[in-house]
Amino acid sequence: MFARDIIYEPARDSQKTDAIIVLTGGRQRIKTALELYNNGKADYLFISGVPNEVSLTSILEQTDIKDIANPENIILGHHANNTAENALETSSWLYDHKFQSIRLVTSAYHMPRSLLEFRCSNIDSEIIPHPVFTDEVKHNKWWKWPGTTLLLSSEYNKYLFALAKYTLSCS
């Protein structure tokens, strides 16, 4: 059920939003968010969960993207260490800017829990999921791939914990 419900295509891929929110945890996530930002999908990019010692320059060095439009509108969030904290950090930033819509960029397998955490963090903005895929995570016949099976099992357990937590506190 969980693996079947993972979003495999970006929702409303062409729609522009007020901001793009990307959760750290994979180089492909950040690269995807930077490409969306460069392609004008939003006027702001917020990268949540960035370690204190990491700068935008060092992030850009990790991707093959050379030119960034309006780097002053790329904000690094340095206060989140997990998905729940990503949602809280982002919620505060969104509230300060009064944004109405966001494009949430994270790994496809991470999207269900991320959406739950974001919706339960008093984020009133419209959330457009933009899942990211890597070749290492197999979505076709995932049960035949031990690494993917372990990853999805772990993520499912985290999702169930978040669901239980928020069923009690967010309903």
The CATH fold of domain 17-169: Rossmann fold (3.40.50)
pTM of the entire predicted model: 0.90
| Distance (Å, whole) CA 50 – CA 67 | 21
Cα 108 to its chain centre, rounded Å, is: 9
Rounded to 5°, angle at Cα 93 from 92 and 95: 65
Question: Residue ranges of the domains in the chain?
Answer: 17-169
Per-residue pLDDT tens, the chain, 171 aa: give them: 566 667 666 666 778 999 999 999 876 899 999 999 999 999 999 999 999 999 999 998 888 888 898 999 999 999 999 999 999 999 989 999 999 999 999 998 899 999 999 988 877 889 999 999 876 665 666 666 666 678 778 888 999 988 898 887 766
